Amino acid sequence: MASNRAYLDHLRSVPLFASCSAKELQRVAKAGTELTVKGGTTIIEQGDTGREAFVVMTGSLGVKRNGKKVTTLGPGAMVGELSLLDHGPRTATVTTEGDSDLFVIDQRSFAGVLDTVPTLAHKLLASLAGRIREFDRQYYG
């Protein structure tokens, strides 16, 4: 990232982190690492045990479920957030569609952030509830 401010601005673009103060965002940033990944790299394999989540800083990710492409995600999108709550199996395969910069945070580090930034737990629950509602609408109408 070009600067610490730009890096924090990227994190702030993630809905989960949008309402965090600058100090809280700095705690989140310190808990994770930035990873530059070549295009065509699979970062999540459906069925594998999840241990971390990824935030797209630059680039894009293709998401496939059962071999069928379901979406493309760009900067600000987060994938793998269920792994921050449990070590359950991944629900999709995610591959970089071009060279991408990702912010990676593992479950243990995220738990530490939740201890110091408890408002994130509320945001995470609300985000997950919103996704469940969206899937419910798609499935049941």
CA-atom Rg of the chain in angstroms? 15
With respect to residue 60, please indicate whether it lies within any of the assigned structural domains.
Answer: yes
Domain assignment present for 64: yes
pLDDT, mean of residues 75-101: 91
Residue 42 has pLDDT above 90, yes or no: yes
Q: Which among 11, 73, 80 has a CA at the least distance from the CA of 51?
A: 80
Q: What is the structure's pLDDT at 51?
A: 92
Split at pLDDT 50, 70, 90, the class of 53 is very high
Handedness of CA 59, 94, 140, 136 (dihedral sign): negative
pLDDT at 77 exceeding the cut of 80:
yes
Work out the percent of the chain whose per-residue pLDDT is above 70.
Answer: 98
Domain presence at residue 37 = yes
Query: Does any domain span residue 116?
Result: no
**Would you state the pLDDT for residue 3?**
61
- Does residue 97 contact residue 48 with C-beta atoms inside 8 Å? no
Residue 79 domain-assigned (yes or no)? yes
The pLDDT of residue 96 is above 90? yes
CA dihedral (80, 81, 84, 85) in degrees, to 10, reads -110
Q: Which domain holds residue 101?
A: 33-108
In a domain, 5, yes or no: no
Averaged pLDDT, 38-54: 96
Q: Please state the rounded mean pLDDT for residues 108-123.
A: 87
**What's the CATH number where 65 sits?**
2.60.120.10
Domain count for the chain, please give it.
1
* Locus of tokens 């995600």: 73
Average pLDDT along the chain: 89
Residue 121 forms part of a structural domain: no
pLDDT of residue 104 exceeding 70, the answer is yes
Is residue 2 in a domain? no
pLDDT at 83 over 90: no
Q: How confident is the model at residue 1 (pLDDT cuts 50, 70, 90)?
A: very low
Distances (CA, A) of 139 to 47, 122, 130: 22, 26, 14
